[in-house]
Structures are given as structure tokens and as C-alpha cells.
Amino acid sequence: MSRIHVTATVNGDPVEFLADPRETLLDALRNHLDLTGTKEGCGTGDCGACSVTVDGTLVCSCLMLAAEANGKRVETIEGMARDGLHPLQRKFIEHAALQCGFCTPGILVAAKALLERNPDPSETEIRYWLAGNLCRCTGYDKIIRAVQDAAAEMRQDHRGAA
């Protein structure tokens, strides 16, 4: 089967690779671009470990074909820290909102997408938004608190900047 030439922007960098037509975006990120921060927890879109954004939309990269990323802007966990850690990353450390770390990249990408849509989510809104991301270690408590705390800080910074 002939391969498909894909060009895209990943974390701000132009990339190109040859994708098998059946290959998922997740496999392309991990195997062609060496971006192994995005994880496969289930391969069926049920656990959220493979969360990335494509043109700003949160997707499970295990459910999207690599070829579909052609011409798109993809953001992964590796692109999250710019000029130092993102407030979510800092708050995750402060609250110890992770343990084994396997689900963490997906949760951070998903939480960032939430805060970009809704800078002031309620606890319930955070829990529902992150319901697509499974974590077996933390019982979610510290994750929710870290997201609340990061949101508060980002709102503060936003007001300070305005």
C-alpha cells in the first residue's frame, strides 16, 4: 500500500513524514516524530491518554488517522512548556496531582483545552470535562484541585496583563 506524504505543524515546528494509510496520528507522533509523551492507554478513545489538540480541538490521537493531520496544527504535551512550565504543569507539581505519570500528558492537554474554552470552570465542569481521561492512581482529587488552582492563577495573570 503506498504511503501518504503528510506535512503538518507539531508544537509550532513544521514536520513531514510518510504515513501508512491505516496509521493513527498517535502512532505517527510516537514512531515517526519520536514524540513519546503522548500515550496509548486503550486505542479505542476511552481513556484519554493520547489526547492532543488538532487546530485547537481536543482529540484522541488514537482515533484519528495520521493522514488526516495533513495541513493541520497539532499540539502535544511536549509543546506545553513555553518559557518555563505552563501554570497547569506547575500546579500539578505543587499539588502532586500525578503519581505514575502515564495518564498525565493526556490530562494536561485536556485541562489546557478546557481552560482555553472556559477560564473559570466549576468543580463539576472540570470533573465532567476530564471524565474522558482515566487515572487509576490519584482518585482524581488532586487533579481537580490543581486544575482549579491553575485556572485561578491564570485568571489573575490575565487580569494583571489587561
Residues that bind another protein (CB under 8 A): 20, 22, 30-31, 34-44, 46-47, 49, 76-78, 80-81, 85, 89, 92-94, 96, 98-105, 108, 124, 126-128, 130-145
Segments in the chain forming alpha helices (H)? 25-27, 87-95, 104-117, 123-129, 141-161
CA distances from 50 to 58, 61, 84 (A): 10, 5, 23
Nearer to another protein, 21 or 71 (CB): 21
Q: Measured between alpha carbons, how far is 52 from 7 in angstroms, rounded to an integer?
A: 17
Cβ distance to another protein smaller for residue 71 or 96:
96
User: Shortest approach of another protein to residue 10 CB, angstroms?
Assistant: 12
Q: What phi, psi does 112 have (nearest 5°)?
A: -65, -40
Q: Are 59 and 23 in contact (CB under 8 A)?
A: no
| CB of 34 or CB of 160, closer to another protein | 34
Least distance in Å: CB of 159 to another protein? Answer: 26
**Residue placing its CB nearer to another protein in the complex, 66 or 105:** 105
CB of 3 to another protein, least distance (A): 13
For the record, the C-alpha cell of 78 comes out as: 511536549
